């Protein structure tokens, strides 16, 4: 089945927040956290207003906490058993402020015992701190246990962190090129991943990757595609590093020697037409897609010499938006790390849930971020060969669209866990 991963983000707010009419009080910014994922997930936002005297550090008067679970942010399931806390810390003595919470859909709810937040509900919590001496640290948080839906779903745990668990798809890749007379404009890209910082030059398109239903496991996010480009490393000068890793996915574990920057893969839309009549709705929003699907830096990844390679997997049933055929996964060819930063843009990659969806051997600490291990694939039998398809894609290199010719199938990319061995 597709693997389960997490989006992480901090819910705590610290500092001066609020709007007041009393002299000497200043307005600050609202702290907002949200998580966008698909397939039975709430998307919970928390905002807080508090009046604070900038001279004494006292938080005076009412505080107001607003919690929403909005379909405008792609929420499509309720958050359940949510508790709300607001803590002041005057002189090192934490105080929980009593809160009164009211739901627009349900009326009065209990922030201590817990309550559900249906999609598009708005919950407002009020509290009166009274004057508090000394410098204070103010933290507001919401903690939800689960959803009223079948997995995959969102689970919120801890008071300072929220996690959103959804399924992540496999991808089937096809050779890609632009039409004649349409040349790719080379792109210089600064990247940061778990192997370090580098500057690469994207020189041409290589592959377009569709989400694929493997052996009847289904497709979680049919809107999500990858567009991949061959890269050359510019900086730091010299040969790329070499890393010994253990890569584990649904097929098993093997030791890999990873080297050479080969491709950069960007979240992409393909022939996208908005459709709100399906579940989940198709929005064709590239920015929203980039919050659900990682940007990837892919390296040459080969089985380490002297170590056992995985046995080729024969007769995989692969059904995607181009074809439904059987293929053999033959050998590992690429290892893809999620990017933490691309140029000035920073990312929080999807993360695996705990426990992992498959066993991971060894004592080395497994990665929390979702990686991809890509296998060369070939026809499983004498079947009709894919004859190619012309599509229109959108990605960060081509936000206004670009025609792409998809050719022969090349790889199957599986969500994977990485353990560093050197």
Predicted local distance difference test score (pLDDT) of residue 119: 87
Q: What is the mean pLDDT of residues 398-404?
A: 97
CA-wise closest residue to 420 among 350, 339, 365, 354: 365
Q: Any idea which residue has 């037409």 for tokens?
A: 273
Distance of CA 296 to the CA centre of its chain: 12
Give the side-chain half-sphere CA count within 13 A for 173.
29
pLDDT digits (tens, 9 = 90+) for 319-361: 999 999 999 999 999 999 999 999 999 988 888 876 777 889 9
Q: Any idea which residue has 């009080």 for tokens?
A: 25
More confident residue, 137 or 228: 228
DSSP assignment of 29-44 equals PPP-------SS---E
Predicted local distance difference test score (pLDDT) of residue 104: 96
Question: Would you call 5 helix, strand, or coil by DSSP?
Answer: strand
More confident residue, 113 or 87: 113
Predicted local distance difference test score (pLDDT) of residue 3: 38
Q: What is the mean pLDDT of residues 177-190?
A: 95
pLDDT band at 10 (very low <50, low <70, confident <90, very high): very low
C-alpha–C-alpha distance, residues 248 and 83, integer Å: 37
Of 45-49, 120-124, 243-247, 287-291, the range with the lowest mean pLDDT is 45-49
Which residues, other chains included, contact 281 with Cβ-Cβ below 8 Å and sequence gap of 6+? 274, 275
Predicted local distance difference test score (pLDDT) of residue 138: 60
More confident residue, 204 or 55: 204
pLDDT digits (tens, 9 = 90+) for 362-399: 999 998 889 999 999 998 776 678 889 999 999 999 99
Q: Which two tokens stand for residue 301?
A: 């990844």
Q: Which pairing describes strands 345-346 and 138-143: parallel, antiparallel, or unpaired? A: unpaired
Q: Where are the domains positioned within the chain?
A: 3-167, 169-420
Predicted local distance difference test score (pLDDT) of residue 239: 72
CATH number for the domain whose boundaries are 3-167: 2.60.40
Is the pLDDT at 308 greater than 50? The verdict is yes
Kindly state the DSSP code that residue 120 receives in the 8-state scheme.
T
Q: Which two tokens stand for residue 249?
A: 């996915």
Predicted local distance difference test score (pLDDT) of residue 142: 82
More confident residue, 148 or 167: 167
Highest mean pLDDT among 9-23, 29-43, 258-272, 355-369: 258-272
Average pLDDT, the chain: 80
pLDDT digits (tens, 9 = 90+) for 108-120: 999 999 999 998 9
Our CA dihedral for 30, 31, 36, 41, rounded to 10 degrees, sits at -100
Is the pLDDT at 261 greater than 90? The verdict is yes
Predicted local distance difference test score (pLDDT) of residue 146: 52
Is the pLDDT at 8 greater than 50? The verdict is no
Q: What is the mean pLDDT of residues 312-322?
A: 94
Is the pLDDT at 27 greater than 60? The verdict is no
Is the pLDDT at 217 greater than 60? The verdict is yes
């Amino acid at each position: 089945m597709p693997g389960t991963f997490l989006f992480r983000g901090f819910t705590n707010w610290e500092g001066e927040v609020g709007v007041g009419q009393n002299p000497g009080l200043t307005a600050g910014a609202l702290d907002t956290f949200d998580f966008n994922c698909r397939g039975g997930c709430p998307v919970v936002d928390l905002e807080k207003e508090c009046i604070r005297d900038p001279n004494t550090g006292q938080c005076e008067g009412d505080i107001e906490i607003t919690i929403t679970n909005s379909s405008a942010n792609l929420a499509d399931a309720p958050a359940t058993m949510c508790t709300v806390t607001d803590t002041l810390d005057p002189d090192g003595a934490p105080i929980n402020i009593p809160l009164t919470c009211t739901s627009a859909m349900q009326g009065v709810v209990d922030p201590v015992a817990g309550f559900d937040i249906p999609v598009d509900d708005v919950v407002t919590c009020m509290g009166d701190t009274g004057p508090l001496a000394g410098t204070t640290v103010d933290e507001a948080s919401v903690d939800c246990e689960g959803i009223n839906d079948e997995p995959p779903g969102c689970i919120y745990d801890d008071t300072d962190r929220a996690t959103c668990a959804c399924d992540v798809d496999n991808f089937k890749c096809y050779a890609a090129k632009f039409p004649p007379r349409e040349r790719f404009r080379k792109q210089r890209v600064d990247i940061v991943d778990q192997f370090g910082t580098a500057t690469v030059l994207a020189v041409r398109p290589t592959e377009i990757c569709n989400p694929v239903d493997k052996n009847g496991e289904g497709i979680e996010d049919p809107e999500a595609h990858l567009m991949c480009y061959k890269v050359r490393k510019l900086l730091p000068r010299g040969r790329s590093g070499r890393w010994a890793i253990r890569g584990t996915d649904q097929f098993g574990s093997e030791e890999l020697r990873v080297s050479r920057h080969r491709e950069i893969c960007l979240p992409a839309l393909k022939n996208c037409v908005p459709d709100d009549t399906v579940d989940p709705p198709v929005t064709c929003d590239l920015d929203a897609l980039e919050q659900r699907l990682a940007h990837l830096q892919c390296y040459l990844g080969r089985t380490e010499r002297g170590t056992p390679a995985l046995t080729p997997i024969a007769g995989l049933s692969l059904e995607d938006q181009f074809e439904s055929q059987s293929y053999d996964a033959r050998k590992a060819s690429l290892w893809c790390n999620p990017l933490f930063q691309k140029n000035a843009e920073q990312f929080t990659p999807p993360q695996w849930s705990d426990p992992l969806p498959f066993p991971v051997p060894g004592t080395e600490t497994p990665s929390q971020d979702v990686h991809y291990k890509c296998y060369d694939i070939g026809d499983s039998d004498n079947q009709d060969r894919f004859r190619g398809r012309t599509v229109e894609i959108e990605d960060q290199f081509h936000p206004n669209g670009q025609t792409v010719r998809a050719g022969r199938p090349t790889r199957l990319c599986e969500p994977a866990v990485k353990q560093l061995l050197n």
